[in-house]
Amino acid sequence: MALTVKGRATRQRIIEGAAAYLRSDDPAGVTLDDIRAITGTSKGQIFHYFPDGKEELFLAVARYEADRVLDDQQPHLGALTSWAAWDRWRDAVVARYRAQGRNCPLGALMGQVGSTPGANEVVTALLNRWQFHVQEGIVEMQETGLVRASIDPDRVAAAFIAGIQGGVQVLRSTGGVAHLEAALDTLVDYLKS
Amino acid sequence: MALTVKGRATRQRIIEGAAAYLRSDDPAGVTLDDIRAITGTSKGQIFHYFPDGKEELFLAVARYEADRVLDDQQPHLGALTSWAAWDRWRDAVVARYRAQGRNCPLGALMGQVGSTPGANEVVTALLNRWQFHVQEGIVEMQETGLVRASIDPDRVAAAFIAGIQGGVQVLRSTGGVAHLEAALDTLVDYLKS
DNA sequence: ACCACGGTGGACTGAGCGGTCCAGAACGTT
DNA sequence: AACGTTCTGGACCGCTCAGTCCACCGTGGT
């Protein structure tokens, strides 16, 4: 399938339109017809650009959303070299998810797509990149002596990822960011102690 | 709807059969017909005992599973009065989810049911009870001087809940319990420090 | 001018599935 | 034994929705 400039634009329009729609509404009941209407396209186009249909489209949207997750944390996440930087990062994460509210785009997508290999791969790749950045930050803090050397950067970075994921999970049920904040603050506190 | 003894038994059979089936298979594609076949019942019975249909049945299963979550952590969760008890609890949680593997019954159910008020209520109630027990444990440890008084039991208990939820979430994608262990160990370590 | 190929529109299909309905069996109460 | 109530079975309905198909349009290369 060779795409022209126009074709790429349409494909992208479908992805972004679908992403926006899935972000606002409950994705459980989202149909291809909804997406068709929202993006001002037709069934023909959707299957032209995503031959495997719904699953392929949703996976493309998931990849798109996954990229945004890390983008929204930059530049803080990439330079966790001082306590001030950690605080800014913490605030960025909390702000992002507070704004997002109950509608976690990726979470909802995953609930939809289920546990296909492709879906797991998208999530795993995101979590790996995320954790890597946190780990890098911890290592750098250790090198400058701000964090004691006895802690295991990989392990604590994993704990951060788990804490954030869980905080967001709770947010999806309760609507509050208290757990997310508690997890982040407690772990940062742990690094400082 | 007045249920006889036989009726209650059938209703329970449906719930448990559905729970078992949902636990093993991908719940996204589970139909009422599947449940009917598994439980050896009929459409008539399902709607007799769950007049609101699929949603009511799934909610009943969710409640059933939610109860099991805490049950599986007992008696450890209810008596976090020594470091040994905390370790036993930690091991019980990890063992439970390791055995469960990728198939988180409640998580999958929630992905199915979506964000109905009823579903949120089930999850919120579970998390509250869970967090309460952890908080109680922290307070008791403080009273016996094993945990320093300067930490906020509520906040750290919330961090535990977030860490566990996130660890399970990661488990669902990667199949590994490393994140769950990292979260628990790091937070217990935090309490000890 | 032509032609080939990618882009676009939308009617149509087919099946899966939640939910309805009713007839009849079992039960238990008097 | 008779009658009301609950339990059970399964045929049936209707709708939703992913996916198909094909005709037509736009564009760019020669």
Query: Mean pLDDT, to the nearest integer, of A40-46?
Result: 96
CA distances from B168 to A145, B76, B104, B176 (A): 33, 19, 8, 9
Residue of chain B nearest A175, judged by CA positions: B120
Nearest-CB residue to A166 (from B112, B169, B178): B169
Name the residue among B188, B171, B186, B169 with its Cα closest to residue B98: B171
Comparing every residue's Cα with the C1' atom of nucleotide D5, the nearest one is: B2
Separation between the CA of A18 and the C1’ of C12 (whole angstroms): 25
User: Is the separation of the CB atoms in A190 and B183 below 8 Å?
Assistant: no
Q: In chain A, which residues touch B (CB < 8 A)?
A: 26, 28-29, 102, 110-112, 114-115, 120, 123-124, 127, 155-156, 158-159, 161-170, 172-174, 178-180, 182-183, 185-187, 189-190, 193
Q: What number of C-beta contacts closer than 8 Å exist between A and B?
A: 136
**DSSP string for chain B:** ----HHHHHHHHHHHHHHHHHHHHS-GGG--HHHHHHHHT--HHHHHHH-TTTHHHHHHHHHHHHHHHHHHTTTTGGG---SHHHHHHHHHHHHHHHHHHTT--HHHHHHHHH-S-HHHHHHHHHHHHHHHHHHHHHHHHHHHTTSS-TTS-HHHHHHHHHHHHHHHHHHHHHH---HHHHHHHHHHHHHHH-
Residues A131-148 have a mean pLDDT of 97
Whether the pLDDT of residue A178 is over 80: the answer is yes
Determine the Cα–Cα distance for residues A173 and B91; give it in Å rounded to an integer: 26
Is the C-beta of residue A142 closer than 7 Å to nucleic acid chain C?
no
Q: Which pLDDT value is given to residue A1?
A: 61
If chain B, 193 residues long, is cut into consecutive pieces of 10 residues, what is the mean pLDDT of each piece?
A: 87 97 85 96 97 96 97 96 97 96 89 86 97 98 95 97 97 96 98 93
The pTM score is 0.94
Check CB contact under 8 Å for B173 and A26: no
**Helix extents (H) in chain A:** 5-24, 32-39, 43-49, 54-71, 83-100, 105-113, 117-143, 153-174, 178-192
Q: What is the pLDDT of residue B108?
A: 86
